[in-house]
């Protein structure tokens, strides 16, 4: 069974530029999550989708971050414009159902903002 796919794996941009990350969850997984993991910390949830609807985006900095999952399968996370403090690994995870379901993580995208 293929795992959660993410691309790109690495990205270096200058501050104020825009960047987008892509995630393809495990086939059949209805719930998709985006996490931000700053170096030396645990992952922090940014946004959670159930199919193509947003379930929780309370911790998403909406002035610069946006995410979509238009067809309820793959998802993109965008940052516009990026700040230095956005340097982190962005992890995508998926789970089979909305509740009581283990999350499986992708390899992550490491973003460096200069």
Per CB under 8 A, residues contacting another protein are: 31, 40-45, 48, 50, 55-56, 91, 95, 98-108, 110
Name which of 49 and 65 has its Cβ closer to another protein.
49
- Sequential DSSP letters for 38-61: -TTS--EEEEEEETTEEEE-TTS-
Q: DSSP character for 28?
A: T
Q: How far is the CB of 37 from another protein (least distance, A)?
A: 9
Name which of 47 and 82 has its Cβ closer to another protein.
47
End-to-end CA distance of the chain: 37
């Amino acid at each position: 069974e293929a795992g959660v796919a993410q691309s790109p794996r690495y990205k270096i941009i200058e501050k104020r530029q825009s960047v987008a990350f892509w995630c393809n969850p495990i086939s059949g997984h209805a719930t998709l999550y985006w996490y931000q993991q700053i170096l030396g910390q645990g992952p922090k949830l940014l946004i959670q989708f159930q199919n193509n609807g947003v379930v929780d985006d309370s911790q998403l900095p909406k002035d610069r971050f946006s995410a979509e999952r238009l067809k309820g399968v793959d998802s993109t996370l965008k940052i516009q414009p990026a700040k230095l403090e956005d340097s982190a690994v962005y992890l995508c995870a998926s789970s089979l159902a909305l509740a009581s379901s283990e999350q499986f993580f992708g390899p992550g995208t490491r973003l460096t903002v200069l």
